[in-house]
Every structure is written in C-alpha cells, then in structure tokens.
Structure 1
Amino acid sequence: MLKSRDISAKTALTIVLIAMLVGCKATDKFFSKEEKQSGTANQAQVVVQAQPGLSPRERFSKALEHLEQGEAPQAKAELQAYLINIPASSSAKELLKQIDSPASSYFPPEFFEVTLSSGESLSTLAGKYLNSPLKFYALAKYNDIASPSRVNIGQTIRIPLTAEAKFVRSQPAKTPEKQKPVDVKAKEIEVATETQADNAEDPIEDAVTSELVKAETAKPMPPSQDSLLERMTTLTQQQDFAAAVEQYQSLKAFGDLSRDARSIALIALEGYGQQLAATDKKDQASINFAEAAGLSLLNGNKMQAFRDFKQATELHPQNSQAMEEMLILQKEISDQYHREASSAFRRQELDTAIDKWEKVLEVDPNHNSAKLYLAQALELKERLEKIKN
C-alpha cells in the first residue's frame, strides 16, 4: 500500500513538473513572439552576431555578400566587427551609412531612368553615375529593390540626380585632353624679346633689354611636361624603373595625365614594385602596385587593376585600402562577367560564355554559380563537337 502511494506521489509530481515545463515553454514562446514583433517595429532591437574566426579580408567580403542578398543586419554586424580591426576604413563607414540612412535622406528625390543592359549591375551603375560602386546598396534602397543581386536585363533603374550624376550626363562621349599649362617664364622671355624689337631705335633701352633676356635665358628652366614624359619613357625602356617612377611623381604635378602617359607610368610602377618585392621591401612594393592599379582604373582596365590590387595585398596584407579596393572590384567584375556569360550562353555563344565565366573564377574562385554554369557550358560544347564529328 505504501509503495502504491509512493508511485501515485511520483506520478503526481511528474504531472506537476510537466505542467510547469509546458507553462515555461508557452511563456518563452510568448516573449519570443513579442521580441520578434518589437524587432519588426524597431530594427535596432534585432541583434545579429558577426561570424567568428574571420580575417579582416574575409569579413569585408562577407559584408558585401550579405548586402548583395539584402541581408542588412548581418552585413552591419560584419562591418562593425571589421571596424574594430580597421578603424580608419572609409569604405566600411560608407556602407554602414547606407544601411542606417533612409534612401530619401541619402539621395535627392529627383532622378532619371536607365535600362539595365547586359553586363550591368547596380554596382556598375553606381560606379558610373554615383562615383562609387559601393553605393550599390543605397541605390537598391532608392529603387525599392530588396536584394541588389536580383536585378534583370531590361529592368528600369532610377538614378538619383546627384552632382556626380549630373556631371556624368553632361559629358560628351569623348572628353578632349586637357590643355598643356602655359610656360609663364617662356612667355615672359617672348614678351621681352618683342619689346626689344619694338624699341630697336633706342640703344640704351635696347642694351638693357638684351641683358635681361640673356639673364633670363641663362637661368635653368624647370622641366616641361613633355620633357618629363620623354624622360620617363626612356627610363622605362631602359628598365630603370626607380628613376622612371621619380619622373612620374614630378609629372603628376601638372595635373591629369594622358592615357599614353598613364600606360607608361603603369609599366614603371609595376616594374619598380617587382624590384622592391625582390629585395624584400614588400610594404613599398605594395604601394607601387596599388598606385599602378589606380592608373589601370583610369584607363578603364578593371581586370588589370584587380590584379595589381591583389598583388599589393599579397605583398602587404596590412594595406587595408588596397584590400578593400580589390574586394570591391572583385564583386563588380564578377557581377559583370557573370551576367555577360549568362547572356552569351542563352544565345548559344559557348566560347564567349566559357571565356567570361573563367574570368569570373579568376577574380572570385568561390563563385558557385560560375562554377556550375561553366561546367554545363563545357559539357554542352563537348557534346556539340561530338555531333559535328
């Protein structure tokens, strides 16, 4: 009888415990629902942790990936963690500003429309019209696009009429080269010579003017833009890259360089970077490769710019600016070539599609879609060649 009572007591106690647990579960469920509802009303209460164990380079890349998918809270967590390691990063701060700012305060309400064509993405449009491909997320918000990566060819995109966008629209198809600066000293000598000719009948004034002209002519003239360019070209051909880079630094004082000058300077900077790397001066070599990458961007060669930025970061991993520029270009190039490859594949232009997907994988070896489609394109090409034979 005693045992029966003990069993009954145990059973009753078990029932009570189960009831308490059920009650706790119901309470947890209730508060979790309330927290979720509160988070919907106020995004600041959504707490997302950054992924542990990532290097700064991996973290910045992960943040861009989250933003591409429209996952702002995850991107924000990664960017905040990134800034702990790289506190001076203007790129990370810019992306956080886009996440936290409504589109209406970030961009003006006036806009014009463009049609997304093959190879274009929100990144390429932001780079073209808004002076930075990083503004792709703000541009997506401006167009009510939840996921920036999910845009289609032929889609209409509103471009905010910022000062940069106005400037781009006002430019002709080909911008003429900048006029050479006037050589003030040469102009003064020319005027003095003309004055001498006009007053040839006055022997005293003529003698004074003649001496002035001689004195001015005897003074060493500062190197001209043409002479610096010629010297830089000669030194580059002689593979005296260190001296050629010195001429390039002097040449920059004249303002924007011509495309030819940039191309020669690019060779000099890359050559000097390789020489510095060979003598274990990797931090200085990194600076030269990053400078070369900037010139490649001005020449419109994004792939070469990516390679030079990559070289700069491999030589000096602490060069965070080069690393960020490389990752931004990685995203922009892979987006562009993946879209162009997909269009070519649909047109059955297999060689073009294969070439472009290989370029995607060169800049982003982890691009899963490119891997998948490249394999399909290669398989289809092999089948078609078998049919032909």
Structure 2
Amino acid sequence: LGELYFTQGEYEKSKAEWEQLLQLDPSNAQAKQRLADIEVLTATSDSVFFQRGRSLMNKGLINQAIAEFEKALRVNPASERTQTMLTRLQEIPFTEYTVKKGDTLSSVAAEYTNNPSHYTILADFNAITPGEPLVIGQTIKIPHIAAFKDALSPDSPEKIAADPLDAETRSPVEIVPELPGERSLDEDTLEELNSLFEQGVAAYNAGNYREAILLFREVYARNPEHQEAYDYFVRATTALRRNRLIPEMIPTPEPTPDTTESEVQTLIETGNAQREAGELNEAITTFELALQLEPANPDIMQMLQETRQDLQEAITTHLNQGIKYFNQEALEDAILEWDKVLELDPSHQQAQEYRQRARKMLEALTSSSLE
C-alpha cells in the first residue's frame, strides 16, 4: 500500500505505511528509499508550487495561481499560508461586463486600463482561451485587481492585503502584471543558473530524479521566471512517483488466502476507477501490484495489457493533436497537448523537443508584439 499511495501522490499515507514497515524491518532499503523520496517531494513541491502561485498572482493570473496553491495544499494540507492565500484569491470581487459588437479581450482591457496587453488577466479570470472570439451579449468578469481595480474601485482596500509569507514585514502584495523577461539577473547569476539547470536536465535524463528535483527547485527559487525549470521540476516529480521499485524488491508479508483475495479485489476496483478517470499510469501501477499477489490471474493480466494500450493511444493522440495545433500556429494549444504527453510519459523526447520549439516561438512572438 505504501507504494500505491506513493504513486498516487498521497505522501502522508505512503509515509505511514513505509514507516510501519521500517519498524518491523529496520534495515529495509526500499522503505528507506521511499521515505527519502517522500521527504524530498514534500519539501520541494510545497515551496515550488507556492512560489509559482505567488508569481502567477503577481501577474494577475488568478485562476492559474489558485491551481498552483491547490497543488501546494495537496502536498502540505496543514499549510496555513497556502490556505489563507487560496481563500483570498477565491474571494476577489469583480464587475460584470456585457460584450458589445466589435469587443475583444484586448479592447475591453484597454477600455479599463489603457493597456490591451492586460487581456491575459481577463482571459485567465474568465477561463477563456486567448484568441477565442467573444460573443455579443456574453458576460465576462472584470476582477478588481491591478490596473482594473484602479479603474473600478480605486478607494477600496486591496483584497489581498498581505502575503502570509511576509507576515513579519506586513508588506502589501501588489498584483501587477510582469512582462516576460522583466525580472533582471546579472550575467554571472544567469550563467550559474544555466549551469544548474543543465545539471538538472542531465540528472533527469539519467533517471536521477531526486537530484534533478533539488536542482530545478534551486533554479526556480532564484528565478521564478525560469519556465523550463518549473516544467522540468513537475516532470521530475511525476517521474519519481512513477519510478517503481523492482517488484521482487517490494517486501510483501505472507498473507492468508482470504486477505489476499480481499486485497486483490480492492486493487482491481481501484485500478478500474483510475482507468475510468484517465489516471492511466496510476492504474498500471495498481494492476501491477495486484498481479504480484495473483501472478496467474488472467483477468488482471488483460486489464494491465489494455491499460498499457490505452496509455500509448493517449500519448499518440495528444502528440498528434499538438502537431496539428502547431501547424495551425496555435502555439499555446500545441504546448498544452504536449504537456499532456509529458504528464503521461515524462521522458517522451519528441514531445519535449516539440514543446521547447513551440515555447521559443511563442516567446519570440510575445516579445515582438510588445515592441
């Protein structure tokens, strides 16, 4: 169960199972390995996801920030600072705007802030894909943040009064959109961070995921605008969770027949539920654990084989859809599809290369539009 909980990202439950095993067998190397993995994952993921949330929040990308804070909270449910930040973001006031003929997100943003580039804030807050046309009569929400707040409610207090992380200084949080590359670092620091990033990529490609996680965390902590460091960090944490222990090395007590049958049935039900939910890697792990208990069970063998086929089909579908979007110059949509590939298979070299190419093109287009 410790391994099952680990692959599902339920670190506290996994930790309890492995610690229990270590009490019975203090020299168990696998339990020690997983506990070390859990320690790295919980410590780094909490800080990186929280920092990522703050960075997105400071750009006015509230829904994206909420998603990152929710990730941090799943890793560390007891975090008061994360819960406080989530609550504040979820309570941001807004004014409704009815779309008129000729309106675009850029024109609406310019109407309130005199800056059409603030359309990204509106797109995020309303869950609208950039470039998606507005419909006459459609209602969109204008959040009272950043320059929009200055236009809508200049005298009202900022909803996000202070960051819990800065409680000692009580420094206010200003949600001000930052342009790409706005954060400046000196050449020596950039060179050092690039070196650390390259070391992280090398460790990742070598399967040393724990080392890679620590390196990517350091790069991102010192430069929150380093998108690739964040992307690789997420891939490395996913890969570590899916880096299964060798089946023969996973200690299993001698169960009674009734216990085995009950546990196998539970694993089968869990695996089927995961498969239905699209959690294919997790389902594969669950079926593999069930097969360890009943190696000759043909039903489990079939479910495992079918789920592996589902995984490959999903990877191919998202890869090809990304290529289709790329050829249509819908770069953001292409990146999202290749992100899905890398979520299913963090080591998928083709998706990594395609994604990197699309991101560079997108950054170039963004830079040219701001000139």
Task: Please give the range of the TM-score, normalised by the shorter of the 2 chains.
Answer: under 0.3
With the length of structure 1 as denominator, give the TM-score of the two structures: 0.24
Larger Rg, first or second structure (1 or 2)? 1
Between the two structures, name the one with larger relative contact order (CA 8 Å, sep ≥ 6): 2
